[in-house]
Structure 1
Amino acid sequence: MNPVYILTLSCPDRLGLVHAVSGFLLERSGNIEEAAQYNDQSTGLFFMRVQFACAKLSFSELKTQLTDFAAPFEMQWRLHAQAEPMRTVIMVSKEGHCLNDLLFRWKSGLLPLDIRAIISNHREFYQLAASYNVPFHHLPVTAATKAQVEAKQLEIIQNEDAELVVLARYMQILSNDLCRALSGRAINIHHSFLPSFKGAKPYYQAHDRGVKLIGATAHYVTADLDEGPIIEQDVARVDHSKTVEDLTALGRDTESQVLARAVKWHSEHRVLLNGHKTVIFK
């Protein structure tokens, strides 16, 4: 079978961009299997994702020729081999619902990931990690050791050559330096009550206020806490009959599903950054 590649790009909008990209691939015997594009009228930017098969050129040859092709269009682009799963590190604290869900989906072949390591500030999930044969790194964090621990975390991420870091309910605030080091490749999940119910026990606060909707948000990590570009969101309706335990269970299910979708789209190279927003080609 011919190798399959995924090309993602963005550039200032102009006439003929789709024709130019498809023509470039045609000249190299590339067979387009999937294509999507979006023109952001507010910014004047053009976004495109193309999945194509090509046996005529190698990956490195395609990248070299794409560099010359993209320059006149001021394109920012990336080329990926579809067959290569995304190297991933997961970070978690004491709540394991998202971690467990991601590991199950990965082993079931539902997520194109290569999970290289799990990092946690608690020991709760070392047996879960071992059951999936994933290395587990226990790195307790205190205010006094935060800088040293983050340096070790970054060392593990770099040693694993991770393309994606998933904060699967990792309940520590990352420093600005670590956020910058992981820019565009770290995904966080949290409940969608922010900023209404900050701090501990948000579901207790929500229950006390009698909310009718609960939800979850997956977004890229930035130095601005919980304000990174949003990838996916969802909500679930609740009523007066629901207990705090009901809200918590439903919220955890929603968090797991939202995070899994965000991770899937990112690992399939379907998410393009557009300033403080995202373009997602589902």
Structure 2
Amino acid sequence: MPVHRSGTAAPARRRLFAGGTLLAALALLLTLPGAASAADTATVPERGTARMGQGVIAHDGQGGTPSTGTSAVQTEGVDVASHQGNVAWSTLWNSGVKWAYVKATEGTYYKNTYFTQQYTGSYNVGMIRGTYHFATPDTTSGAAQANYFVDNGGGWSKDGRTLPGVLDIEWNPYGAQCYGKTQAAMVSWIRDFVNTYKARTGRDAVIYTATSWWKDCTGNNAGFGTTNPLWVARYNTTVGELPAGWGVYTIWQYTSSGPTVGDHNHFNGALDRVVALANG
């Protein structure tokens, strides 16, 4: 006598097969270029935590003390952000640091929670200080971010103690290196920012970047060197090649020395040149 099977087995097999196909498809997708794994997602930092020089170690040098063979006078400075917390400004001053840049903003969504202690504290010990904006060109326009920066600590006054604002444009810690922009679109975004900043403050913003990033993401555009002072990042014994358009650097970030004292920088000149940049 033939055995009669339940009608539930075939649908069950079909569901298992469909589920297996779906799982296989998902596995294939995760192997495709650009697919994000769970581990990749876990390494993306929280929005607002980006800081100047965050991607430099991996891309533009691996450390080293600048050569002392040069006769050019350099003036030591630091840059700090919220991850440094309350900074011991007197200690830095006594160690020879005479100027500082403080992160003010990022995108149009973040303001440094330690801004007052860092910006006012550096001023109170006698330093010449200024502020910087960490750019996120994939979130809002250059003009929107320049306005947000000026409105939240990025302004300028001719008091001999306030440096012009800095556009920090570098590797994207939250995603694609060039923020999903073509080289032409990136140049346009930067132009939008610096033009708006100048219209608001009367000063040309300093541009902080690294040569390798500038080559990759702007096509090594040479259109900013005659107007915007260069702050170049390279963690090595020499500053190396500069981005196109700049014959000299104004500031060189040469090392990241840890969370307690910030990144260290050489201003290309004596203290009176730092004052001259402050005065415009």
Indicate whether the TM-score tops 0.5: no
- TM-score for both structures, normalised by structure 1: 0.31
- TM-score for both structures, normalised by structure 2: 0.31
Which structure would you say has the larger Rg?
A: 2
